[in-house]
Structure 1
Amino acid sequence: MSDNELGTFLRTWREAVSPAEVGLPKGQRRRTPGLRRAELATLAGISVEYLTRLEQGRDSNPSAQVLGAVADALHLSLNDRMLLRRLTKEANGGDPLICAAAPSLGRTARPTVRSVLDRLEPTPALVVNWIGDILAHTAGYERLAGPIGLLDDERPNLLRYLFTDERARSAYRDWDRVADDLVARLRHGAPLRDPYVAELADELTVTAGADFADRFMDLAVVPRRTATQHIEHPEAGSLRLLQETLVLPDEGQRVIVHLPADDATAAALDRLDGRRPGALRAVGEAG
């Protein structure tokens, strides 16, 4: 880990949030993306000097009130707020409280979650734990992922497939973006000292080398709030899919639903499912 992960986290999110997202006018041409320090400091009710010290690693012990104000100003999700708190603890040499309270790594999906999947048919949907193990999926997802080899392993894992199976680079036209997002979710969404995370990270560092290791060590890469995937499917052709994620925090799991981004993809998925085109409808482009 770097010596200033807290500062990197704050700077990365400040640069990732647009003025429009926090109700500020876009204004004149900007030299850097996202919010200026002065803008974030004003929104959070702190001084620019103090925010600068936090970002530069010269102060690693902000109060809970300051953390909350900054998190509110950046519109952070619950998971990102927990990571912010965790990084503050680690910067001070303490054990992150969230690690002690985190649920054990789930290897199965609850029956009620499986029932939700049943009601999502024939939409491609799956349940994964925080290291990317696929715990359950719809038949629609099997028809999507099976032909590209994603479900070949006895215990399929999204990260292991993406970084170690040569078919993944052919299947995902935007492989780099998908890789960035999956590693960021592992890095930001899982307990940092979880032994399963360390075991998977060590394995992929050996098998995938810098492709994985550089991403895992880069805290500046954060999970996208919305995602579009381009898949070259051996049976359905070119597919453009929007991804919606529903988090199950008590289990440390999430439900991922893939939706057609255009009419051609909707029709292709219908044909893949043996349905007449028109059953699935395309949804709007991801923001």
Structure 2
Amino acid sequence: MSDNELGTFLRTWREAVTPAEAGLPAGPRRRTPGLRRAELATLAGISVEYLTRLEQGRDRNPSAQVLGALADALNLSLADRMLLRRLTKEANGGDPLVCAAAPSLSHTARPTVRAVLDHLEPAPALVVNWIGDVLAHTAGYERLAGPLGLLDDERPNLLRYLFTDERARSAYRDWDRVADDLVARLRHGVPLRDPHLAELADELTVTAGADFADRFADLAAAPRRTGSQHIEHPEAGSLRLLHETLALPDEGQRVIVHLPADEATATALDRLNGRRPGALRAVAAG
């Protein structure tokens, strides 16, 4: 991993924001569609020389006012502003509220969380830790994911399956979007210097190459709490699923619940679960 995450973040966002989005004229002969350093510096009210030092990692301690001005100039979302603050704190040795207090990597789900899963049946639902290890799941999820090969490993991991198992690309019609979201979740959910993150990132960089490495290097990507997936299931056929993510921050875990996006998927899942149609109801996105 880079030792200049803050500088990379700022440069990535500067190059991603167009002059029009920042309220500036495009002008002739631009070599990049993004903002020039001088333009971002002017918008943020700082010097070009200081912005250069931040991007190059020669200054890693910007004030809260400077961070706020840069975030405003780049029109960052709340999630991206939190990531910017987190990167700044980690560049300065860590923030006890953001880094040191993060829970240790969990390998089990609490009994009460497992009880919640029981009440979610027959919906496909699972509990994962911050690096994507599957800790617990409903029987409905096993019937959905088992035939895809996702649960074959003794300790299944969502990212390892998606990037290293050839069955994943056949199963997920929208593989690229699923991959984008999982890697963004990994970057945002784990202290960047966590050894478990480093180990998984190194492994997937070797086994999956640029498919993983390029996404992991993209600091501008943000995870979504909700989303959709289109799965080609060997037993149930074409499935369109929505998912909702519920965070368990004290445990460093999250619950992911999959719901049918249309009546055809609801019926297919009911049959997969050996139930009469109607046990699951389609849910509209939004």
Give the shorter-chain TM-score range.
0.7 to 0.9
CA distance in 2, matches of 1:14, 1:122: 46
| Offset from partner CA, 1:254-287 (integer Å, 9 cap, x none) | 000111111111111111111111221111125x
Report the counterpart of residue 232 of structure 1 in structure 2.
232
Report the counterpart of residue 183 of structure 1 in structure 2.
183
Report the counterpart of residue 24 of structure 1 in structure 2.
none
CA distance in 2, matches of 1:281, 1:10: 44
Report the counterpart of residue 45 of structure 2 in structure 1.
49
1:220 offset after TM fit, Å? 2.3
Aligned pair 1:242/2:242, yes or no? yes
1:202 offset after TM fit, Å? 1.3
User: SS where residue 202 of structure 2 aligns?
Assistant: helix
CA distance in 2, matches of 1:276, 1:70: 55
AA aligned opposite 1:229: Q
Report the counterpart of residue 22 of structure 1 in structure 2.
none
CA distance in 2, matches of 1:70, 1:117: 42
Q: Any conservation in 1 of the 2:44–2:66 contact (CA below 8 Å)?
A: no
Q: Any conservation in 2 of the 1:164–1:207 contact (CA below 8 Å)?
A: yes
Gaps of 5+ in 2: 18-22, 34-39
Report the counterpart of residue 95 of structure 1 in structure 2.
94
CA distance in 2, matches of 1:109, 1:224: 22
Report the counterpart of residue 276 of structure 2 in structure 1.
276
Cα RMSD of the aligned pairs, angstroms, is: 3.7
More moved, 212-221 vs 160-169: 212-221
Q: Any conservation in 1 of the 2:44–2:70 contact (CA below 8 Å)?
A: no
Q: Structure 1 pair 122/149, CA: closer, same or farther in 2 (3 Å)?
A: same
CA distance in 1, matches of 2:162, 2:150: 8
Aligned pair 1:131/2:131, yes or no? yes
Q: Any conservation in 1 of the 2:147–2:233 contact (CA below 8 Å)?
A: yes
User: SS where residue 184 of structure 2 aligns?
Assistant: helix
User: SS where residue 152 of structure 1 aligns?
Assistant: coil
User: SS where residue 57 of structure 1 aligns?
Assistant: helix
Report the counterpart of residue 168 of structure 2 in structure 1.
168
CA distance in 2, matches of 1:225, 1:51: 37
Tell me the percent identity: 82
CA distance in 1, matches of 2:274, 2:242: 21
1:1-287 alignment, distance < 5 Å:
1=1, 5-6=5-6, 9=9, 48-50=44-46, 57=55, 60-64=60-64, 67=67, 74-77=76-79, 82-92=82-92, 94-97=93-96, 98-286=98-286
AA aligned opposite 1:271: R
**TM-score (normalised: structure 2):** 0.79
User: SS where residue 128 of structure 1 aligns?
Assistant: strand
User: SS where residue 228 of structure 2 aligns?
Assistant: strand
AA aligned opposite 1:270: D
| Offset from partner CA, 1:74-121 (integer Å, 9 cap, x none) | 4524xx5553222112444x2343222111000000111111111111
User: SS where residue 185 of structure 1 aligns?
Assistant: helix
User: SS where residue 271 of structure 1 aligns?
Assistant: helix
User: SS where residue 94 of structure 2 aligns?
Assistant: coil
1:49 offset after TM fit, Å? 2.9
Greater radius of gyration (CA)? 2
Q: Structure 1 pair 107/149, CA: closer, same or farther in 2 (3 Å)?
A: same
More moved, 240-249 vs 201-210: 201-210
AA aligned opposite 1:76: L
More moved, 185-194 vs 276-285: 276-285
Q: Structure 1 pair 205/3, CA: closer, same or farther in 2 (3 Å)?
A: closer
Q: Structure 1 pair 14/108, CA: closer, same or farther in 2 (3 Å)?
A: farther
Gaps of 5+ in 1: 18-26, 34-39
CA distance in 2, matches of 1:13, 1:47: 14
Q: Any conservation in 2 of the 1:263–1:282 contact (CA below 8 Å)?
A: yes
CA distance in 2, matches of 1:3, 1:51: 24
